[in-house]
Amino acid sequence: MLQSPQEEPVLRQLHSGRHSVIKKNVQQQVDVAVKHAEKLLEGGHNHSRGAQEWRQLRAEVAAAEERVADAVVRSDYLQRAQVIENAKRDRPNAADLRANIALVRSKQHEVGKRIIHARRVLVREVVDVFGVQRRRSWEIAGLQLPSSPELFRLEPSLHINAIVLHIIHLLSLMTRYLSISIPFTPTFNEQEHVGRPYMIANLPFLSTTKWRDKHLLWMSSKAYVSKKHAGSKQEKAQIVLKSYKKHKHFLESFALLCHSVAYLAFTQGVLGIGIGPQSFRPAPSNRRKSSDENDSPRFLPGSDGVLVSATSVLELIALTAESPTLGCKSHEPSTSDTVKHMGFSLDISEVVASVLTCEHARWGASKPDVEGKEHLSEGWEVMDMDT
């Protein structure tokens, strides 16, 4: 569509006027934005602080915090200097210092006496609760323990194992009350098990690697020589021969238990603990014995200073509870008399050898082997109805 020459100036005026209006509107918006930005930066009386005022305020707060920190440091320095000056001026003399030390030691001694008294009460009470006493022979919880380990075969395995479990429970309580660590610690398998205990070496107490493996403390039901087999030497020999390896391992573990109980008694002041002279004599007793017990050889105290056998576990526990120095020594720093080393002269190998030698002299079967090279099977056993 063609435009006439008269229409062109009119269109130019329209376009020019429209652009002027748009430009004017944009300029007004820019002016308003600039004024608003200036108000935000500089702040005003009728609105919130601006960014510049916040920066200035933060700087003033930082300077005030620095002045306060300096004042605290100066005050702390002056206070410490005053304390040092007072200490120099009020230095106690030697007599006052000795009196203060004596007062502290007196309080410590009083606390130690209370701890010792508490230990004695706990140990004697638990020994009485377990019923450790001597009637015809030493017993615990109403169960009589044979006078010597070689006589264990004459009792059912259930009887011997029950006594061993009672002794282990009692021993764990006594060591806990007295804060004493023993050379061999009774423990149980962490997994679900029939409850057979092990003797595990307390390594800081052992200088040899010979007895560091765990040893099963459980008498086999096959080791029991019942009364119906007592009259036949051939049947007894077969029972002893079939159960010799397992029973030997049990006796070794029992010897480790005996050594631990003997050490506990030694730390509490029980004297004369040993294995007796290296000779055999009939075990004396006031009660009538069967034919199997009459001529049982065993170690007995002699002229070498041994007053109580290390294998007499219940007797050692009773003597420990009756000791006048019970609770005075411990491995933990609770009293003034702390046991810092073992200092026990009874050799574990001698205790094991004495037990195995008595077993061999009583039952024969083979020569005693103290090396402990056999490994006890942990399998299940078939128990006789007579046991």
**Residue recorded with tokens 């070498």:** 304
**What is the band of 305 on the pLDDT scale with cuts at 50, 70, 90?**
low
H or E element, residue 118: helix 94-129
pLDDT at 175 over 90: yes
Using CA atoms in the order 241, 247, 252, 258, what is the torsion angle rounded to 10 degrees?
-130
pLDDT at 14 over 80: no
| Separation of alpha carbons 137 and 315, rounded Å | 10
| Separation of alpha carbons 344 and 339, rounded Å | 11
CA dist list (Å): 222 to 198, 239, 338: 19, 7, 45
- Percentage of residues in the chain with pLDDT exceeding 70? 75
Residues paired with 201 in a beta bridge: 184
CA dist list (Å): 243 to 109, 110, 153, 213: 55, 55, 10, 22
| Separation of alpha carbons 198 and 250, rounded Å | 10
Number of neighbouring beta carbons within 10 Å of residue 20:
10
Global confidence as pTM: 0.66
Give the residue among 248, 275, 262, 277 at the shortest CA–CA distance from 205: 262
Residue 212 is encoded by which pair of tokens? 């560091």
**Residue recorded with tokens 């490994």:** 375
> Each residue of 321-371: pLDDT tens digit?
999 999 999 988 777 778 777 678 888 999 999 999 988 888 876 544 444
pLDDT at 283 over 90: no
| Separation of alpha carbons 156 and 39, rounded Å | 103
- Higher-confidence position of 285 and 247: 247
Task: Return the pLDDT at 253.
Answer: 95
Q: Across residues 308-312, what is the average pLDDT?
A: 92
H or E element, residue 27: helix 8-42
Torsion 231-158-190-149 (CA) sign: negative
Residues paired with 359 in a beta bridge: none
Task: Return the pLDDT at 296.
Answer: 38
**Residue recorded with tokens 């029939």:** 194
pLDDT at 291 over 60: no
Burial class (CB in 10 A: 0-12, 13-18, 19+), 194: exposed
Q: Across residues 253-259, what is the average pLDDT?
A: 95
| Separation of alpha carbons 332 and 155, rounded Å | 40
Give residues with Cβ within 8 angstroms of 171, minimum separation 6.
Answer: 182, 186, 257, 260, 261, 264, 317
**What is the band of 23 on the pLDDT scale with cuts at 50, 70, 90?**
confident
Number of neighbouring beta carbons within 10 Å of residue 2:
4
Task: Return the pLDDT at 366.
Answer: 53
Residue 9 is encoded by which pair of tokens? 């100036």
Q: Across residues 83-88, what is the average pLDDT?
A: 86
CB 262 within 8 A of CB 346: yes
| Separation of alpha carbons 15 and 17, rounded Å | 5
| Separation of alpha carbons 212 and 206, rounded Å | 8
